[in-house]
A and B are shown apart, each in its own frame.
Chain A
Amino acid sequence: MDKTLLISKIKDGTVIDHVKAGMSLKVLSILNITGRENLTVSVGMFVPSKRLGFKDVLKIEQRSLERSELDKIALIAPDASISIIRDYVVVEKFSVALEDRVIGIIKCSNHNCISNTKEPIRPEFFVKSRNPLVLECIYCDREMFESEVLASL
């Protein structure tokens, strides 16, 4: 008996591989993919991986990613690799990058923080720790942990 089941290749679109296991649904929500877009999407969850132990992987037809989406994915899946597929082949491949500062992507979880008002600035955080994720607001010093970052994405 054949023990493998192949997911059919995508013609044009994006593969998001090496996503931290458990984060694929969050990635879909960052991309605003609800399943009602008439796009072929396959999601692999908790797939064995040499590098990560286990990983999630997403394959999305007819969709490219914007800078802001990549920045958000980097926050929750810092090891993710992105492959752009054209005519069934990988034409471009790169990793997401979590910079030392996170600017304009998420809001400070402190409601009483000046960065949540109409001042002419973007919310900004130092990356204090990558694993586990800890951000620190450059304005009010409040630390944001992964659960709060996830909630605000």
Chain B
Amino acid sequence: MIKNRSIASIDDISEDEMIEIFDLTEKMLSALESQKKLTPMAGKIMATLFFEPSTRTRLSFESAMNRLGGDVIGFSDVKSSSVSKGETLADTIRMAESYSDIIVIRHPLEGAARLAAKFTAKPIVNAGDGSGQHPTQTLLDLFTIKKEIGRLEKLDITLVGDLKYGRTVHSLLIALARLNATVHLVSPPTLRIPHHVLSAVSEKIDVTESDDLSKVIRDTDVLYVTRIQKERFPDSEEYQKLIGSYSIDPDVVSRMKKTSIIMHPLPRVDEIRPEVDTLPQAKYFRQAFYGVPVRMALIMLLLGGEF
């Protein structure tokens, strides 16, 4: 049971608990699809403390809580919060604890959610800490794979794009190491996975690293694409050249297995051509949609709601 626990990393959730979350996600999904009004979280308040701008993740958490009949308070603009006055995270958490039942936090520094959990008995959910972990994104990624591929075992998965800064990828990789997946890491040489992330998983599973997608595209079950940010490149011409060689277009997709899927944490820019959106492999909008039921299930289990 994960009731009252803090979720800072995907490793804070066991296999059995993951199954429990996904079972409840299925129920939330059917409730959403049947437009049934739910109120198990009536009277409960979720605080969303976003020390770093985010729209998608914050909206998804807030929508999840609202769908469960609960209320949401919080901030997403550090300038207007007490943080800009130099308050410590510890103090902000002690304050938020007295206003809410569950605290969702996004922070630019790694380890922020773990620190937050030390200063409150209320459950903390990490919504992204620096280039560290993003466990609810990982949950929804895994749920998408389970739903769209039909299994989580024996996966061949390719992660392509910015593997250096993307916390989504770091978090997912830790989960894949537990699932015994075969992982291909494809990125430009300057955006390779950090050594400390790779060393944590390379003993457990088969991992290949390259800058060439064509070698692995035919056999992969899941192509997980991430955004290569323009800001990472001082030279915009270099960026244009590079983005071209990693862009997923219908030609690339035609070489993929019929049963394979394409995922992306969104927002997508040039990495996936719009023509791909209508192909059967494209699952990234589905993936984003699953974010709400997955977070509904997690909130329910953390706060012990009856359904």
Contacts and interface: CB of A to CB of B under 8 A. Distances in A.
B112 interface: yes
A141 interface: yes
Given A119-B89, A140-B132, A143-B196, A114 B118 contact: no
Nearest to B133: A141
Contact of B112 (A114, A120, A142): A114
18 contacts: A110-B110, A112-B109, A112-B110, A113-B109, A113-B111, A114-B114, A115-B115, A118-B88, A119-B88, A119-B89, A119-B115, A121-B90, A137-B111, A139-B114, A140-B129, A141-B9, A142-B110, A143-B196
Contacts of B109: 112-114, 117
A90 interface: no
A115 B115 CA distance: 8
Interface of B: 9, 88-90, 107-112, 114-115, 118, 129-133, 196, 199-200
A138 interface: yes
Nearest to A144: B196
B267 to A, nearest CB: 23
Interface residues on A, range: 10 to 19
B196 A142 contact: yes
Task: Tell me if A's interface is mostly helix, strand, loop or mixed.
Answer: loop
B9 A121 contact: no
Nearest to A118: B88
Contacts of A108: 111
Nearest to A136: B200
A10 to B, nearest CB: 44
Of listed A138, A139, A143, residue having the most chain B CB within 10 A: A139
Given A108-B111, A112-B110, 13 more contacts: A110-B110, A113-B111, A114-B107, A114-B109, A114-B110, A121-B115, A137-B111, A139-B111, A139-B115, A140-B130, A141-B110, A141-B111, A143-B196
A143 B47 CA distance: 31
Contacts of B111: 108, 113-115, 137-141
Contacts of B196: 142-143
Interface in A95-153: 108, 110, 112-115, 117-121, 137-143
A120 B132 contact: no
Determine which residue in B88, B111, B114, B118 has the highest number of CB atoms from chain A within 10 A of its CB, and name it.
Answer: B111
Nearest to B200: A143
A119 B130 contact: no
A114 B130 CA distance: 10
Given A118-B88, A119-B90, A140 B110 contact: yes
Contacts of B115: 114-115, 119, 121, 139
Contacts of B89: 114, 119
B171 to A, nearest CB: 11
A121 B89 CA distance: 11
A138 B230 CA distance: 33
Contacts of A143: 196, 199-200
